[in-house]
Amino acid sequence: MRLTKLIAATAVATACAVGPALAELVVPLLSYRTGPYAPSGIPYADGYTDYFTLLNERDGGINGEPVRLVECETGYNTEKGVECYESTKGEGALVYHPLSTGITYQLIPKATADGIPVHSMGYGRTSAADGTVFEWIFNYPGTYWDAASIIVKHILDEEGGDLNGKKLALIYHNSAYGKEPIRTLEELAKKHGYELTLLPVDHPGQEQKSQWLQIRRDRPDYVIMWGWGVMNAVAVQEAANIRYPMDHFIGVWWSGSENDVMPAGQGADGYKSIAFHAPGSDFPLYDDLKKHVYDAGKAAGAGDQIGSVLYNRGMYAAITIAEGIRKAQEIHDTKELTPAQMRDGLENSVISEERWAELGLPGFAPAVEVSCANHGGPGLGAIQQWNASEKTWTLITDFVGSDREVVDPLIKEDSAAYAQEAGITPRSCDS
Amino acid sequence: MSVAMLNLTEVVLNGLMAGIMYALVALGFVLIFKASGIFNFAQGVMALFAALTLVGLQTGQVPFAHLINAIFGTNIHHFGWTLPAFLAVILTLCVMVAFAWAFEALVLKHLVNQEPIILFMATIGLAYFLEGFGDLLWGADIKAINLGIPSGGSFWWEDVTREWAPEGSDYWGMYIDKLDVVATVVAIVLVTSLTLFAQYTRMGRALRAVADDHQAALSVGISLRTIWVVVWSIAGFVALVAGVMWGAKSGVQFSLSLIALKALPVLILGGFTSIPGAIVGGLIIGVGEKVAEFYIGPLVGGAIENWFAYVVALVFLLFRPQGLFGERIIERV
């Protein structure tokens, strides 16, 4: 009896001493701060981390629940990325941002089976935009096919709406990522009558002399680039070397950061890329970041990437997660979330223009709305251009949509093929 | 000359010059292998480290700034001065010599008489250490190199060659990157200097003696440790040249270490022990892969130059396992 009392007293005392367990919102960050792709991985990871640090420091988390980031180094290596996923999912991970198309492809079946959402924001498998097949995968606010279509739309605008007989070349990273836009560009070639030349570049893309000699010989009217890492910088340098008109050279949103143009110096002036958010740090949110994160000595990394394109991209990614968490908390009326509830939050995410302004980012990006059937979001993009003298990117067009007439059937076709291959019965989103 | 022939000439010329760039990397491997029998896995990372150090010193970057700021809560990144290019190169060379001395004293000295595979593994460790150390020392951001090396297409050469095309043809002239021309001149000077050094200096003869027979060289009083420091210092210098030339193309960034992959087929073809072999091997690989990519690539979907270089090297390997200029392998029972 005495022993029982002693045990009971000890249990009560322990419970009182520890207090109620503090729930956390666990968000993994698969980053690459080392290796050949580190210059691109670091600013993204810093922006992502700094935003969550701001939420924790300023607001005590999201609706009072602190966010715990679990960072895992992938080195942009697919095997390591999968290891990171396996080693962190047990910590209660709510959602994954793989930051690599290769890793995303590997995680699609795994995360689907585990019931953990994956948000491959503007990368990964394009047809994951079809929410009826890819229930756990999201790629909003836009897909590679949206990007390809918007770039062609911009070229159409530049050419007075007629591309008949024009020559377009695609120089691309010879990987799953680089090959993504080919199908769309081929379909658009049929529609608009341009001739498409494909120029693959092997990893890592340090040597591209042959490709640029071909461009010099064939003289395409426009060159589109789907590159990453050192490939981008070398391509911009080679284009400048052969005196290719830089305003006719347009990269995808992963080929449009400061890293890609700075090494070429003045030669990169006029180079364009598509973007799904604005560059720079001229937004009220940065005042909060300065007060609660930078000046408090809590900035991620060296604190030297603030306002760069990829820093803003990482911040954008963190915002999509944070807003997804808020929506999930609202839908399920709970502050502690499960991955399944998080999935619901992402699927019902709405970031209106007013909400962007409330977040301290007015005009930063167009409104985003995700739905059961549409995991790809609005698919809007604008063209930005590099000014080498001022070392700044500037948006030179409005955010416009892609050619849904071409893109949507391609998404349906590819997702149907995946559903058949994976034995998935597409769900209904009618209700 | 027909436009097709001019295009072919242009591709061959550019291939030759790309080959020189590969040879610059291969030279570092050859020097160390020749003198010590070590296949230096870290040669590519040495090129990266040398280039990082050069830019860091030249731009007045504070070493270990990230670490210092994290520990002391400071926010320092630059000293605020810029060094002249010449001085930065000299200081970088001093760093590479210090690195060679430290590697010999801390690692190689303790591995004397070990199997070549053990020494090879030591260089794998060195590669990873040096990459991490370089990151810690100078940061992982992309750095533009500014030594005043000319780059971009030569207008003069374009104008001259445009005249060679048939009248009325829409030919733009032949393209040659000025950076590649500089690399060619540098490679010629480098190889000539290394040859003169090996032939006509006391240290050079000692190097050759060690390369021929370690035991015999030791028996006549040549210090193996000194030779290793000298060889690794020279390899560090060659790495700096390669790092600068490649870094001028893409900026100095961590993927620079992957240029070592470009040197492997050159080494297989030219032999691991021959300096002329590295040059000739580089030229053959450069021309072979560029011609293949330009003419065969479009027919088979492109991006063939990387593996094509290895196919060329393998074909040579079948007929001359020691490479074009490598020492003939004679095993006596």
- Name residue A25's beta-bridge partners: A67
CA distance A172 to A182: 9
Residues A262 and A388 placed together within one structural domain of the fold = yes
* CA dist., res. B213 & res. B219, Å (int): 10
Q: How far is A416 from chain B (nearest CA, A)?
A: 27
Q: Which residues of B touch A216 (CB under 8 A)?
A: 172, 175
Q: Is residue A422, in this structure, part of any structural domain at all?
A: no
The pLDDT of residue A56: 97
Query: What burial letters (b/e) apply to B185-210, b meaning 16+ CB within 10 Å?
Result: ebbeebbeebeeebeeeeebebbebb
Ramachandran category for residue B109: left, alpha or beta (phi over 0 → left; psi -120 to 50 → alpha): alpha
Residues 127 to 166 of A: which have CB under 8 A from any B CB?
A: none
**Which domain covers residue A402, as residue numbers?**
144-275+383-407
Residue of A348, A286, A280 lying closest to A308 (CA atoms):
A280
Same domain, A157 and A266: yes
The pLDDT of residue B331: 63
Q: What is the DSSP string of A25-65?
A: EEEEEEE--SSTTHHHHHHHHHHHHHHHHHHHHHHSSBTTB
From B255, B290, B298, residue closest to A204, measured CB to CB: B255
The residue among A34, A202, A206 with the most chain B CBs within 10 A of its CB, best to mutate, is A206
Residue A77 falls within a domain, yes or no? yes
Q: For residue B258, give the nearest of A36, A174, A303 by CB distance.
A: A36
Are A160 and A266 contained in the same domain? yes
Q: What is the pLDDT of residue A18?
A: 42
To the nearest whole Å, the CA of A426 is away from the closest chain B CA by: 35
Q: Residue A16: what pLDDT?
A: 42
CB atoms near residue B283 (< 10 Å): 21
Is A393 found in the same domain as A245? Answer: yes
Which chain A residues have a beta carbon less than 8 Å from that of B258? 36, 204, 206
Query: How many whole angstroms separate alpha carbon B309 and alpha carbon B266?
Result: 8
For residue A2, tell me if it sits in a domain: no
Question: Which residues in chain B are closer than 8 Å to A36, comparing Cβ atoms?
Answer: 253-255, 257-258
Q: Which of A195, A241, A262 to mutate to test the interface with B (most CBs of B within 10 A)?
A: A241
Is the Cβ of A240 closer than 8 Å to some Cβ of chain B? yes
The tens-digit pLDDT sequence of chain A (431 residues) is: 444 554 555 554 444 444 444 569 999 999 998 888 888 899 999 999 999 999 999 999 999 999 999 999 998 899 999 999 999 999 999 999 999 989 999 999 999 999 999 999 999 999 999 999 999 999 999 999 999 999 999 999 999 999 999 999 999 999 888 999 999 999 999 999 999 999 999 888 888 999 999 999 999 999 999 999 889 999 999 999 999 999 999 999 999 999 999 989 999 999 999 999 999 999 999 999 999 999 888 888 777 788 999 999 999 999 999 999 999 999 999 999 999 999 999 999 999 999 999 999 999 999 999 999 999 999 999 999 999 999 999 999 999 999 999 999 999 999 999 999 999 999 999 86
Q: Does a structural domain hold residue A96?
A: yes
Q: Calculate how close chain B gets to A391, using CA atoms only, in Å.
A: 13
Q: Which residues in chain A are contacts of B175 at CB distance < 8 A?
A: 213, 216, 241-242
CB contact under 8 A, B75 and A303: yes
| Tokens at B48, concatenated | 């990266």
Instruction: Check CB contact of A214 with chain B, cutoff 8 Å.
Output: yes
Do both A247 and A310 map to the same domain? no
pLDDT of the residue at A17 = 43
In the numeric block, the tokens 């969550």 are attached to: A52
Q: Residue A230: list chain B partners with CB under 8 A.
A: 250-251, 253, 255
Is the minimum CB–CB distance between A109 and chain B shorter than 8 Å?
Answer: no
Q: Does residue A130 belong to any structural domain of this protein?
A: yes
Which A positions 7-46 lie with beta carbon below 8 A of chain B? 33-39, 42
Are A195 and A325 within one domain? no
B18·A207 Cβ contact <8 A: yes
ipTM: 0.86
Q: Residue B212: what pLDDT?
A: 79
Number of domains in chain A: 2
pLDDT in the model for residue A15: 44
Contact criterion met (CB < 8 Å) for A39 and B140? yes
* Confidence at residue A68, expressed as pLDDT on a 0 to 100 scale: 96
Contact call for A234 and B249, based on CB within 8 A: yes
CB contact under 8 A, A209 and B257: no
CB burial of B117-150 (b: ≥16 within 10 Å; e: otherwise) equals: eebeebbeebbeebbebbbebbbbbbbbbeeebe
What lies within 8 Å, CB to CB, of B289 at 6+ separation is A210, B15, B18, B305, B306, B308, B309, B312
Q: Which residues of chain B have pLDDT under 70?
A: 326-333
A34 → chain B, closest CA residue: B140
Cβ–Cβ < 8 Å for B283, B22 = no
The Cα–Cα gap between B174 and B161 comes to: 6
Closest A-chain CA to B73: A297
Scanning A160-189 for CB atoms below 8 A from B yields 174
Structure tokens at A273: 């890329």
Using a CB-CB cut-off of 8 Å, the residues of chain B touching A243 are 152-153
Give B15's contacts in chain A (Cβ within 8 Å). 209
- Chain A residues in contact with B10 (beta carbon < 8 A): 213
Q: What is the CATH number of the domain that holds A163?
A: 3.40.50.2300
Residue A11 lies in a domain: no
Both tokens of B113, joined, read 């008489």
Question: Which stretch of DSSP H or E encloses residue B15?
Answer: helix B3-36
Asked whether residue A119 falls in the same domain as residue A149, the answer is: no
User: Nearest CA of chain B to the CA of A389: how many Å?
Assistant: 15
Residue A315 lies in a domain: yes
Closest CA to A284 of A61, A54, A49: A54
**Nearest residue on chain B to A257, alpha-carbon basis:** B142
Is residue A270 domain-shared with residue A346, that is, in the same domain? no
CB-based contact (8 Å) between A267 and chain B? Answer: yes
Nearest chain B CA: its distance from A34 CA (Å): 7
B324 contacts B268 by C-beta, under 8 angstroms: no
Q: Please report the sign of the dihedral spanned by the C-alpha atoms of residue A221, residue A227, residue A233, residue A238.
A: negative
| Contact at CB, A200 and B301, closer than 8 angstroms | yes
Which one of A33, A213, A233 has the shortest CB-CB distance to B175?
Answer: A213
Contact call for A39 and B11, based on CB within 8 A:
no
CB contact under 8 A, A303 and B73: no
Alpha helices in B139-256 (DSSP H): 155-162, 178-200, 202-212, 214-219, 224-250
Same domain, A301 and A234: no
A351: three-class secondary structure by DSSP: strand
Backbone phi and psi for residue B171, each to the nearest 5 degrees, phi listed first: -110, 135
The answer to whether A243 faces chain B, any CB pair under 8 Å, is: yes
Nearest Cβ partner of A207 from B69, B139, B262?
B262
Are residues A290 and A271 both part of a single domain? no
For residue B322, what pLDDT is reported?
80
Residues A93 and A29 in one domain: yes
Of B7, B249, B262, the CB nearest to A217: B7
Identify the pLDDT of residue B327.
67
Same domain, A80 and A110: yes
pLDDT digits (tens, 9 = 90+) for B26-39: 999 998 988 888 89
Examine residue A17 and state whether it is found in any structural domain, yes or no. no
pLDDT value at position A3? 46
Distance in angstroms (rounded) separating the CA atoms of residues B67 and A166: 53
Query: Which backbone phi and psi does A167 adopt, to 5 degrees?
Result: -115, 125
